[in-house]
Amino acid sequence: MALLSIVVPCYNEEETVELFYDALINVLKTMDKEYEIIFVNDGSKDSTLEKLTGLYNKADGKVKIIDFSRNFGKESAMLAGLREAKGDYVTVMDTDLQDPPEYLPKMFEVMEKNGDDVVGTRRVTRKGEPKIRSWFARQFYKLINRYTEVEIVDGARDFRLMKRQVVDSILSLNEYGRFSKGLFVWVGFKCEYLEYENVERVAGETKWSFWKLFRYALDGIIEYTDMPLSISFWVGGFLTVVMAVVLLVQLICLLFGANITFNAVLISVVLFMGGAILLASGILGEYLAKTYDEVRKRPHYIVRRKYE
């Protein structure tokens, strides 16, 4: 029988892990697949680990836990889980039931029917989410998709069913910055999305503050596009042209004896140019930081203990 690996990153999820596990098992029981569930405890500060070891003890070998030494973020947790997964099929799920387990059989059905390598899910609504966050999310997808060679699908979740080969390809990308929304589509393969309405978390709270998400979006843009560099190019170019025109006009006015306070203009020119240079070097700095990360080749996470 084919083996399905389910990777589950958890961070402070004491309220949800058991609910999630029960809902998942109910669905898995109806399916004709062997399964393993790999929980990655991403440095939770609450009793998540105790809840997980409880599940581990009662699940006779079908549950594994990777316990991180601190919080390394969801991307690192996913990476650890994918590396650990032995399945012919692999999926990633959140513990908060925002990725409904009932979709798993449907995903398999679609995959078999259409011969897909990947079946993803995407939410077509963002109800229950702050308006401003939705707006930023939409702008992010618009922006990043204008400049990337692959399409990063709006609303796509990390909840996706992948065949072994796809997972191996993702793991073969050994860059440090793991922006998985990008990595998942970058590897290609035949992929299809099931659409659904946003579901709200069963319990607990989201771990993503607005700024964490903003930073995440910025990482995506910097890792997947050269757009910020071209901004500095265009802004710089625009400023140079505008300033050339301004200077020309001033020169002509002075020639005709008009009364211009030259100092005022000079100050604004200097400020403008200073701003442009700062912006450009700031953007270079972002790239430099990324390069530094890549060169350092630090591990993505440190495992404290494995339960298997």
Residues at the contact surface with Mg ion, assessed by CB under 5 A: 94, 96, 98
- How far apart are CB 201 and ligand UDP at their closest, in Å? 6
* 71: partner contacted, choices Mg ion, ligand UDP, none (Cβ within 5-8 A by kind): ligand UDP
Give the shortest CB-52-to-ligand UDP separation in angstroms: 12
Partner in contact with 117, chosen from ligand UDP, Mg ion, none, beta carbon below 5 to 8 Å by kind: none
Residue closer to ligand UDP (CB basis): 103 or 228: 103
* Buried/exposed code over 120-132 (b: 16+ C-beta within 10 A; e: otherwise): bbebeebeeeeee
Minimum Å distance from CB 49 to ligand UDP?
Answer: 13
Q: Which is nearer to ligand UDP, 207 or 290 (CB)?
A: 207
Q: Which does 220 bind (CB under 5 to 8 A by kind): ligand UDP, Mg ion, none?
A: none
CA 241 to chain centroid, in Å, comes to 38
* Of residues 308, 300, 228, the one with CA closest to residue 61: 308
> Smaller CB distance to Mg ion: residue 98 or 148?
98
Distances (CA, A) of 145 to 114, 140, 153: 26, 8, 8
Contact 226, 286 (CB under 8 A): no
The angle at the Cα of 96, spanning 90 to 99, to the nearest 5 degrees, equals: 45
Q: How near is the Cβ of 160 to Mg ion at its closest, in Å?
A: 15
Q: 156-163 and 89-92: which strand pairing?
A: antiparallel
| Residue 207, binding choice from ligand UDP, Mg ion, none, Cβ under 5 to 8 Å by partner class | ligand UDP
Distinct helix (H) and strand (E) counts, the chain: 10, 8
Q: Which residues bind ligand UDP (CB under 6 A)?
A: 9-11, 13, 42, 71, 73-74, 77, 94-96, 98, 206-208
User: What are the phi and psi torsion angles at 299 (to 5°)?
Assistant: -65, 155
Task: Give φ, ψ of 199 to 5 degrees.
Answer: -110, 140
Choose between 195 and 200: whose C-beta lies nearer to Mg ion: 200
User: Is the Cβ of residue 77 or residue 161 nearer to ligand UDP in the bound state?
Assistant: 77
**Closest approach of Cβ 95 to ligand UDP, in Å?**
4
Work out what residue 42 binds among Mg ion, ligand UDP, none; the CB cut-off runs from 5 to 8 Å by kind: ligand UDP
Shortest spacing between CB 176 and ligand UDP, in angstroms = 17
Comparing CB distances to Mg ion, the nearer of 94 and 116 is: 94
**Which stretch of DSSP H or E encloses residue 161?**
strand 156-163
Q: How far apart are the first and last CA of the chain?
A: 21
